[in-house]
Structure 1
C-alpha cells in the first residue's frame, strides 16, 4: 500500500470517527470502562472490525456513487447481500491493509417503496443533478472528510420524516442523518482472554449499563457459527426539522463482532490471525443489526 493511500485513509478515518465519537456517548462510556478494567490502554488499542453507511437508491446517489471514495483508496468490493423485507441491497468492501476496517454499505431500493414515500424522497433529492462524489477532489482528504457530513439535501419537515418512518425506518434515518457514520465495530476476539468472546463481552457491556439490541437475540450468529455479532441500541439525538419542530430520533450506535477461526486451519494454533478467521458478513445477522435504530429497540431507552 502506497504511503499516499495510507496517509489519506488515516485522515479519512479520523474525519469520520471524531464527529461520530462526539455524537454517540456510548463510545466514550464503553472505551473508558474498557480502560478501567485493563482491557485496553486507549481508544487506539481497539481493533475496528468494520464501519457502516446507509444510502438512498436514487439517481446520482446510492452505493454506486458513495463507493467511489473507498475504491479510490484501495478497498475491494466483495459480496452482495439483499434484504427483501427491508427493501435494501448491500455490499461489503475489504480494506487495502488489515490496519483498516472493513466497510459495509447498504442502499434503500427507493423504487420499491410506495408512491408517497418515493415522492417524499424525491422532494429532497431531485435537485441533485450530478453525482456529488464526482465533484470531489479525491486527492484532497480534508474535502472528502467534510463530505461525509455535508448536507446534500435540505432537512426534512417533521411530517415528511414521520410519513417515511411509518413505511421504512431506514428511509427516515437516512433522510435526516444522511451519510453520517452509522456505526463502528469493536473486534471482540482481539481483546484479552477474559473478554474475547461475544458472550463475555456482552456481559461486561450490560454490567456498565449498556442496553443491547435484542432483535433476533442479543447475539446474532451466522449459519456456520463463525461470526457472532451484537450491538447497542442507537443513541437518541435531538433533531430539529426544517419547520423548526424538534423531537428525539435515533442516531448511531456501536457494534461488536467475534470472528472465529476457520475449521480448515491448524487447530493447534493458539493465536490465529485475521487471515485464519471467518471473513465477510451474514445477511441474517445484518438484518437484525439494522434494527438497532428501529423504534422496537430504541423505545427501551427513550426517557
Structure 2
C-alpha cells in the first residue's frame, strides 16, 4: 500500500461515524500545537543564520508581520521512518492529507497536508498567524544501492523507535539515531545528497516558506522580494532559474541556498555539512476569481498545492553544486 493510501486509510478509520470536521480535532490543543511549531522554528533558526537574517530583514520592511506558506521535512522511507512518522503529529491536530508527488530521478516521494479549516489568525504573524501547509518527503530507500540501504537501515535499527518521536526530535533539534561515520556520509552523498542531508539533520525543519502574497509592502511580489534578498547579500538557488514557475503560471517559488555547519562524525572527523534554507512562495488568484476586488481575495481563492517541477529544483537548495556556486 502506498504511503498516501495508508495515511488516507488511517485518517478514515480514526474519523467517528457521521464525520468530523478538522476544527473539532484541533480544539483544546491549539496552544500546545503552536508551541511545538515554535520550538521547531527556534531549533531551525538557531542552526541557520541565513534564514534568521532573511526573516529579520523582511520583517523590518513588513512592520514585523510575515505569514508562513508551508513547513517542510525530509525522511527515510523505510521501516516506519518515512512520511508517516512525521505526518502522525499533524494528523492528530486536524491536518488533512492532500496530494502525493513523485520524483523518480531523485527516488523521492512527497505528500502535502492542509491545515485545519476555520483556524484563522488574521492579525497574527509567523507561528501565531495562519497555520502553514506541511510538505513531507521521503527517500525511497528500497530503490537505493545495497551499500546505501545498509547504511540507512543500520542507523534506523538502532534508533530505538525514534520514528514515534519525529515531532519531538524536530522541536529539540536532535537526531533519533547515532551520528554516522564520515565515510558513510560520503557514500550516501555520492548516491543521494538528499540521503546525506537526512542522515545528519534527521527530522529537522528542512525549510520554512514565507507567503509573499500575504506581505503588505512592495515585497509581496516574489520577483521584487528576490531582488531585495539578493541586494541584501543572500544567495538564491539558481537551479532551473531563480524563479520556479508552475506550468499554469500560478505558483511561483524561490529559495536561498542552504546554510552549512561543522558536524562532528562518530569517528571524530569534523566536516562542513548542509543545513536548511528559507523559501518564498507566491500563489496567484485562480482565473475564476480574477474579478474579485483585491481586498476580498482570500487564501482559498488562490492556487493551492505544490508542483513537481518546482519542488524538484527547490530540493537542490541543499546540494553541493548550489552551496559552492560563486555568485556572479
TM-score, normalised via structure 2 length: 0.84
Distance 2:89 2:292 in 1: 41
Partner secondary structure for residue 30 of structure 1: helix
Distance 2:225 2:205 in 1: 23
- Compute the displacement of 1:26 (Å): 1.5
- Compute the displacement of 1:47 (Å): 0.3
Match of 2:111 in 1: 91
Match of 2:43 in 1: 19
Distance 2:162 2:177 in 1: 13
Match of 2:145 in 1: 114
Q: CA separation of 1:250/1:261 partners in 2, compared to 1, >3 Å: closer, same or farther?
A: same
Match of 1:229 in 2: 253
Match of 1:151 in 2: 175
Q: CA separation of 1:170/1:74 partners in 2, compared to 1, >3 Å: closer, same or farther?
A: same
Match of 2:300 in 1: 275
Larger CA deviation: 188-197 vs 45-54: 188-197
Distance 2:170 2:258 in 1: 23
Distance 2:293 2:170 in 1: 44
> Which structure shows the higher helix fraction?
2
Give the superposed CA RMSD: 1.8
Distance 1:146 1:64 in 2: 15
Distance 1:284 1:188 in 2: 20
- Compute the displacement of 1:27 (Å): 2.4
Q: Is the 8 A contact 1:60 1:130 kept in 2?
A: no
- Compute the displacement of 1:20 (Å): 0.6
Distance 1:121 1:179 in 2: 14
In structure 2, which of residues 137, 147, 163 is the aligned counterpart of residue 132 of structure 1?
Answer: 163
Distance 1:15 1:24 in 2: 14
Number of matched pairs = 290
After the TM superposition, which parts of structure 1 deviate over 6 Å for at least 4 consecutive aligned residues?
A: none
Match of 1:50 in 2: 70
Partner secondary structure for residue 304 of structure 2: coil
Match of 1:288 in 2: 313
Distance 1:33 1:238 in 2: 25
- Compute the displacement of 1:130 (Å): 4.4
* 1:253 and 2:274 are equivalent in the alignment: no
Distance 2:76 2:326 in 1: 27
In structure 2, which of residues 179, 185, 188 is the aligned counterpart of residue 164 of structure 1?
Answer: 188
Distance 1:206 1:87 in 2: 32
Match of 1:140 in 2: none
- Which stretches in structure 1 are left out of the alignment for 5+ residues? 137-142
- Which stretches in structure 2 are left out of the alignment for 5+ residues? 1-22, 121-129
Please list the CA deviations of residues 258-295 of structure 1 after superposition, one character each: whole Å capped at 9, or x if unmatched: 00000011424213110110001001100000000001
Larger CA deviation: 19-28 vs 120-129: 120-129
Please list the CA deviations of residues 115-162 of structure 1 after superposition, one character each: whole Å capped at 9, or x if unmatched: 1111111221123464732xx6xxxxxx95456434221101110000
Distance 1:35 1:129 in 2: 41
Q: Is the 8 A contact 2:159 2:178 kept in 1?
A: no
